[in-house]
Every structure is written in structure tokens, then in C-alpha cells.
């Protein structure tokens, strides 16, 4: 049974709140009605659910504002995520580049937000390159990728280079010695922007990937937010078992991706 429309809107807005998208306040009810193409009662029900969970504060006559997120640390599943095999990841990206096309939506030098600065270990307001690209196969859009790279590195490549090569290749060509990557994969519902670029309906399920790349000196050099259509992209990981009989764990051995 499909999720009720109000719950789909609630999930999309909740994800955007967690990303810090509404620092200046949420859009008004009329704007949300137009964005999701629903009646006011549906929007209000979604907002009421967000308010009941302490994610937003609604005051009559004033703009709805986001409340600070809980200060609890990262969950155990996030802490236990294994590092990706970077060699396999790089080879996979190069292979993907040979079989797909990319459209650069936007490239700009911006000041690092709190989240970007923390991820890349920069000062708040430092310059970073933000690049947004959509990669497609012959069947249509495959992924929507946003990358953040410190300006000291990213000034060596721009829109033209990003339209031709995977960004990991550009990093290495810029003199970065890539060391390791920390990656998490989760689920996400498409908002209106992602829905438009990936040719899906608002509220459709997507694979959400966050990947932080470090160089050999353990300095973060790239933060990636990727959203993939699950009907066109499959992520596979081979695991090997290590440890003694009473303390065996599974570790990543290889990574690959399939797309159609």
C-alpha cells in the first residue's frame, strides 16, 4: 500500500531539515502546496507531524522555523560502517564514466556552511567548490551528485573538466594522493528538485550515498552527496570474514556497481 501523501511530504521535509536546508525558515503553506501539488490540509498534516516530533516550531502569523537537531552522537550503525575499498571505487567510477554521460548543472565557489566546514575540517566561511551534476545512461537519468571540494584544490578544475572526467580522477590529476573513503548508504525520498532531475515522482525512493574522501595525510579532500535511482543503479559489496572463531567480523573486500 502506498504511503499517504502527507506522510511522503513529512518524510521529504524531515530529510531536508536534517540536511540543514531551512536555516532561514520553512517555505509557507502556499509554497509547499504548489511544490507538492496537494491541498492545504495535506501540507498542514505533514507540518503537524514535524512539530509533534520537535523538528519545527509553528507560530501563527510568523514563519515556521526549524529547531536545532538532537545533540546525540552518530548511531552505532554509522560508526560501524566499513571503509570502502578505494581502488575498487575508483575503478568503478572510471568504468561508469565510460558508459554514461554527465550534465553539469552548476559549479560555483561558495562559503562553507557549518556542515561542509565540519566534514572537510575547514573554518566556517572558507571557500569551497560546489558542483552539481546529473549522470545518465541511455535509458535516462541515473544519479544526482553534489560535491564539495576545498577551493585550494578545486581551483585546478572547473565546469569543462567536470563534464568529462570523474571527480576522483580530477583530484588525482591535481596532485591529491587519495588515501581512503568513508561512505554511508541509506534511503531517501525524492523532493521536487531531485524528482525533476531524475525524472521520477516526488516521494519516490532513492539510494542516498554520502562519501568523504581523505588524502594520504588524512585530510578530507571531497565530500559527496549522491542520489541514485534504484531501478537503474545497484551497489554491490563483497565481504570477507576475519577473526577468531569467537570474534568473527565481516570486512569489505571489494565494491562494484551495476547500472542500466
Domain edges within the chain: 5-66, 77-259
Spatial contact of 176 and 149, defined as CB atoms under 8 Å apart: no
Per-residue pLDDT at 12 = 84
Mean of per-residue pLDDT scores for the chain: 82
Distance CA 199, CA 89 (A): 26
Distance CA 161, CA 146 (A): 15
Spatial contact of 170 and 188, defined as CB atoms under 8 Å apart: no
Q: What is the pLDDT of residues 41-60, one digit of tens each?
A: 999 999 998 888 888 888 87
Closest alpha carbon to 102 in 171, 196, 166, 168? 166
Q: What is the pLDDT of residues 60-87, one digit of tens each?
A: 778 888 887 554 444 434 333 434 455 5
Q: Which grid coordinates belong to 66?
A: 526549524
Q: What is the pLDDT of residues 143-188, one digit of tens each?
A: 999 999 999 999 989 999 999 888 888 888 889 988 888 888 899 9
Per-residue pLDDT at 84 = 42
Which CATH code of 1.20.120.430, 1.25.40.20, 1.10.10.10, 3.20.20.10 fits the domain covering 5-66?
1.10.10.10
Cα dist from 182 to 55, 81, 106, 157, 197, whole Å: 28, 8, 25, 24, 26
Burial of 192 (0-12, 13-18, 19+ CB in 10 A): middle
Distance CA 155, CA 111 (A): 14
Angle at the Cα of 119 from the Cα atoms of 117 and 120, rounded to 5 degrees: 65
Angle at the Cα of 126 from the Cα atoms of 174 and 222, rounded to 5 degrees: 40
Which CATH superfamily is 77-259 part of?
A: Chorismate lyase-like (3.40.1410.10)
Distance CA 53, CA 38 (A): 22
Per-residue pLDDT at 229 = 93
Per-residue pLDDT at 161 = 93
Amino acid at each position: 500500500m502506498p504511503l499517504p501523501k502527507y506522510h511522503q511530504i513529512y518524510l521529504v521535509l524531515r530529510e531536508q531539515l536534517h540536511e540543514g536546508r531551512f536555516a532561514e525558515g520553512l517555505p509557507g503553506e502556499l509554497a509547499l502546496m504548489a511544490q507538492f501539488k496537494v491541498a492545504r490540509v495535506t501540507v498542514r498534516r505533514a507540518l503537524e507531524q514535524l512539530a509533534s516530533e520537535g523538528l519545527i516550531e509553528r507560530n501563527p502569523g510568523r514563519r515556521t522555523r526549524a529547531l536545532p537537531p538532537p545533540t546525540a552522537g552518530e548511531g552505532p550503525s554509522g560508526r560501524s560502517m566499513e571503509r570502502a575499498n578505494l581502488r575498487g571505487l575508483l575503478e568503478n567510477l572510471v568504468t561508469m564514466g565510460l558508459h554514461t554521460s554527465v550534465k553539469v548543472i552548476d559549479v560555483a565557489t561558495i562559503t562553507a556552511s557549518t556542515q561542509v566546514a565540519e566534514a572537510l575540517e575547514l573554518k566556517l566561511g572558507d571557500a569551497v567548490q560546489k558542483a552539481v551534476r546529473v549522470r545518465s545512461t541511455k535509458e535516462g537519468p541515473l544519479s544526482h551528485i553534489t560535491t564539495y571540494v576545498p577551493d585550494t584544490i578545486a581551483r585546478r578544475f572547473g565546469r569543462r573538466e567536470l563534464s568529462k572526467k570523474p571527480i576522483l580522477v580530477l583530484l588525482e590529476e591535481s596532485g591529491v594522493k587519495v588515501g581512503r573513503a568513508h561512505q554511508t548508504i541509506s534511503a531517501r525520498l525524492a523532493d521536487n528538485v531531485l524528482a525533476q532531475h531524475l525524472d521520477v515522482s516526488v516521494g519516490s525512493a532513492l539510494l542516498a550515498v554520502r562519501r568523504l574522501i581523505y588524502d594520504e595525510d588524512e585530510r578530507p579532500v571531497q565530500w559527496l552527496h549522491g542520489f541514485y535511482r534504484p531501478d537503474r543503479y545497484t551497489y554491490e559489496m563483497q565481504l570477507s570474514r576475519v577473526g577468531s572463531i569467537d570474534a568473527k567480523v565481516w570486512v569489505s573486500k571489494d565494491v562494484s556497481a551495476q547500472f542500466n
